[in-house]
């Protein structure tokens, strides 16, 4: 049985308790510090294979420390650090998840320069609503990165929101440059209160074609999502189709497909239930029997605005031409926010 040291958790909690530094009147300079911690203690069992991460253990999935500074009504900046410590592993490097300067152009419209959230993953997490339990479909399957270095813009008009990023493609964890920039875009339409219909896409080489590496293919991903967020309930689903995401410098083309559906219901301000199902096929051409099904169900308790605590059960089925694996995980997941 493996646990993160008490000293590490104490340090993380201490950082999370950093107070807001400055409160100022509207339009005046202001700086504030906030934090989020995603942590879980769970029992993981894998059928068909023995791995080092089985058993009861604790994961410090994410520790975000964010500094927001407002220069004036138009100009702001944000820096967010990110630390992860998974079971049976050494503590990760300290990542710079966000570091950008923003110019606002009215409600919902802005331009960001630097390492900022990408258009699709941030929105899929916001609509599903339980990021601290697991990342959304695109982030979980690693068919995208939640933040990247480049130029990011959003324009809001009426019921439509348009967002686009021109980025390095290397992501925020291991920044690097390729021979060309990647592009990601998203269009969202809100035809009724709480309803959003969205489409998006990504095209580029993910910074994998630098140096002497051959450029065999260009990665592409297309997304659609429909969701409704009400006062008590959330319902939604999304679908992706990708080509050559892992074949940029390799011969032979390969396609990927997947979908996700989720729902939740808030019985009281403190208690909610939620469920989610993902299914992906990550090698339709080279190994068409490759398939994964992810299932999640849970009950959440929110005693106050700082803590979300969920009892969760997960099941993952993975199949390839050579083997079939199944894993089960159950335990407690928490989000601590200050």
Q: Which residues of 100-114 are buried (b: 16+ CB within 10 A; e: fewer)?
A: bebebeeeeebbbbb
Q: With beta carbons less than 8 A apart as the criterion, state whether 272 and 231 touch.
A: no
Task: Report pLDDT for 51.
Answer: 64
pLDDT tens profile 192-242: 999 999 999 999 999 988 777 778 999 999 999 999 999 999 999 999 999
Rounded Cα–Cα distance for residues 265 and 256 (Å): 31
> What are the tokens at 317?
């089925």
Task: Report pLDDT for 189.
Answer: 98
Task: Report pLDDT for 299.
Answer: 98
Task: Report pLDDT for 16.
Answer: 38
Rounded Cα–Cα distance for residues 79 and 155 (Å): 22
Task: Report pLDDT for 11.
Answer: 38
Task: Report pLDDT for 49.
Answer: 60
Is the pTM for the entire model greater than 0.85?
yes
Rounded Cα–Cα distance for residues 238 and 223 (Å): 7
Task: Report pLDDT for 154.
Answer: 98
The series of mean pLDDT values per 10 residues for the chain, 338 residues long, is 35 38 58 95 81 78 94 96 75 83 95 97 95 96 96 97 96 88 97 97 92 85 98 97 94 96 97 98 94 97 97 95 91 96
């Amino acid at each position: 049985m493996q646990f993160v040291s008490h000293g590490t958790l104490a340090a993380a909690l201490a950082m999370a308790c950093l107070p807001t530094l400055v409160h100022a009147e509207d339009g005046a300079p202001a700086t504030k510090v906030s934090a989020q911690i995603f942590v879980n203690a769970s029992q993981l069992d894998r059928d068909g294979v023995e791995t080092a991460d089985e058993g009861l253990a604790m994961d410090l999935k994410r520790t975000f420390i964010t500094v927001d500074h407002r220069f004036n009504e138009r100009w702001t900046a944000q820096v967010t650090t990110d630390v992860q410590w998974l079971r049976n592993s050494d503590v990760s490097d300290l990542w710079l998840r966000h570091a950008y300067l923003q110019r606002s152009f009215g409600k919902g419209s802005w331009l960001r320069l630097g390492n900022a959230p990408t258009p699709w993953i941030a929105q899929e997490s916001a609509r599903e609503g339980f990021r601290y339990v697991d990342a959304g479909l695109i982030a979980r399957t690693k068919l995208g990165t939640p933040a990247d270095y480049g130029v990011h813009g959003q324009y809001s008009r009426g019921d439509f929101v348009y967002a686009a990023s021109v980025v390095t493609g290397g992501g925020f964890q291991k920044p690097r440059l390729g021979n060309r920039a990647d592009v990601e875009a998203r269009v969202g339409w809100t035809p009724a209160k709480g309803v959003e219909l969205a489409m998006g896409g990504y095209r580029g080489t993910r910074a994998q074609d630098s140096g002497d590496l051959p450029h065999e293919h260009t990665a592409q991903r297309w997304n659609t999502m429909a969701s409704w967020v009400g006062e008590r309930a959330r319902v939604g689903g999304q679908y992706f189709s990708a080509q050559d995401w892992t074949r940029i410098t390799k011969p032979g083309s390969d396609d990927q497909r997947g979908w996700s559906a989720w729902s939740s219901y808030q019985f009281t301000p403190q208690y909610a239930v939620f469920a989610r199902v993902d299914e992906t096929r990550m090698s339709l051409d080279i190994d068409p029997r490759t398939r994964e099904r992810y299932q999640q169900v849970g009950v959440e308790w929110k005693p106050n605005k700082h803590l979300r605590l969920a009892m969760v059960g997960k099941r993952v089925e993975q199949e390839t031409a050579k083997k079939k694996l199944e894993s089960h995980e159950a335990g407690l997941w928490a989000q601590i926010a200050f």
